[in-house]
Amino acid sequence: MIKSWLESGVGRSSCAYPAPLVIRSPRLKTHRHIIIVALVGILAVRHMALAAPQNAPSINAFSGVSARTMRANLRFLASDEMRGRDTPSSELDLAAAWIASQFEQAGLEPGVKDSYFQVATFRDKSVRNVIGILPGSDPVLKNSYLLVSGHYDHVGVRGTEGDTIFNGANDNGSSIVAMIELAKCFANMKVRPKRTLVFMAFWGEEKGLQGAFYYGKNPVFPLANTVAMVNMEQLGRTDDTDGPQISRFAITGFDYTNLPATMSEAGRLAGVAVDKRPQGDPYFMASDNAALAAVGVPAHTVSVSYAFPDYHRATDHWDKIDYENMMKVTKAIGLGVFMLAEAKTTPKWNESNPKTKRYVEAWKKLQGG
């Protein structure tokens, strides 16, 4: 490997290599070979470092993900004052405004001209997808888009006695606060990813993926240039009904595209297992990724828990989240997103899987095939 690197000249500076040190003293003559070998080794390491990719993936890029910050943010987003963030509601509007302010503070640019809002109408009320972007650093690949998403709505207030507010901490406030942390980390990188990252918080998932389907029909960025979508759901609870989910997350439709292979490699580097769980295929249609998959975009949802004891109950509270585990998982997801955004190739549907037939057809139509 060193030989091929030297022959190619990759990473060499404009300066000539220094000549090997020649020791004339008889006293040190016996050590001449050792000294020369040591100097050659030092030079090789120095120039190999110069030749290394400047934007190589590293989990250290996501050291800024903070369990404490996610806890504070989720304590607000899933508070009783937000009254379950139903669609539509004034509390959902407040949540949208708060997410937009967090995107701006993180350093994301507005995704819809000079606004962070893609406005739609639902039941005669205005609703908003919240969109912030981080333009890519590559002059060509910046015109391709990688979506990082999650829904910010929940089911609101139900019943008349006892605790009637369905706070939706894990479902899905957890993913929103994780997304904000990732946005900060990506925006703070000295060299940004090559592709443009689109951070998107959807309204109306609990009403049938309404916000995501609206985006699929009214895309802000060309769907033909949208390489993939990593959607996040329920990242905070580890007490899954199938057993504890510590230092691991699952991906829906694991065999539908080759995107999970990249996420699995990121998980390995981060010390997080990436699972193919039995529920993964049925749940593929249960979250916002389904809306983008329907129009041909390779799209998956990542989750720590599929089913947990407080799912769609008033007891889905912020103080039941495992924030340390969520921090670890969020870092791994971030690394996977980074690797996807840097890759020369893009995720592809698995055409040999009969379950992907409709998505493959939509993708071919999208690409003009």
Q: List the domain boundaries for the chain.
A: 2-51, 59-366
What pLDDT, on a 0 to 100 scale, did the predictor assign at position 109?
Answer: 98
When mean pLDDT is compared over 13-27, 45-59, 64-78, the highest value belongs to 64-78
Q: Does 19 score more than 90 pLDDT?
A: no
**Contact criterion met (CB below 8 Å) for 190 and 137:** no
Instruction: State yes or no: cis peptide before 88, omega within 30 of 0.
Output: yes
pLDDT of 49: 33
**pLDDT, average across residues 157-182:** 97
Of residues 347 and 39, the one with the higher pLDDT is: 347
pLDDT interval class at 55 (50, 70, 90)? low
Tell me which residue of 281, 167, 151 sits closest to 208, measured CA to CA. Answer: 151
**pLDDT number for residue 36:** 38
Neighbours of 218 (CB within 10 A): 10
Mean pLDDT of 309-322: 98
Confidence at 58, pLDDT banded by 50, 70, 90 = confident
User: What secondary structure does DSSP assign to 131-155, as a single string?
Assistant: EEEE--SSTTGGGSEEEEEEE----
pLDDT bracket for residue 47 (50, 70, 90): very low
Q: For position 91, what pLDDT does the model report?
A: 98
* Lowest mean pLDDT, pick from 45-59, 322-336, 354-368: 45-59
Phi-psi region of 17 (alpha: psi -120 to 50; beta: other; left: phi over 0): beta
Any residues with CB less than 8 A from the CB of 214 and at least 6 apart, and which?
118, 120, 129, 204
Q: Which of 22-26, 219-223, 294-298 has the lowest average pLDDT?
A: 22-26
For range 314-330, the mean pLDDT: 98
- What is the predicted pLDDT for the residue at 292? 98
The string of pLDDT tens digits covering residues 118-146 is 999 999 999 999 999 999 999 999 999 99
The pLDDT score that the predictor gives to residue 25 is: 43
CATH architecture of 59-366: 3-Layer(aba) Sandwich (3.40)
Q: What is the pLDDT of residue 56?
A: 66
Q: Which residue has the tokens 């806890």?
A: 71
Q: How far apart are CA 79 and CA 130, in angstroms?
A: 20
Place of tokens 């003559």: 29
pLDDT value at residue 29? 44
100-129 mean pLDDT: 98
Higher-confidence residue: 27 or 102?
A: 102
Ramachandran quadrant class, 108 (left: phi over 0; alpha: psi -120 to 50; beta: rest): beta
Counting residues of the chain whose pLDDT is more than 90, the rounded percentage is 84
Q: Please tell me the distance from the alpha carbon of residue 20 to that of residue 37, in angstroms, as a whole number.
A: 9
CA-CA distance, 306 to 43, in Å (whole number)? 52
pLDDT tens for 232-258 read 999 999 999 999 999 999 999 999 999
Q: What is the pTM of this model?
A: 0.85
pLDDT at 198 over 90: yes
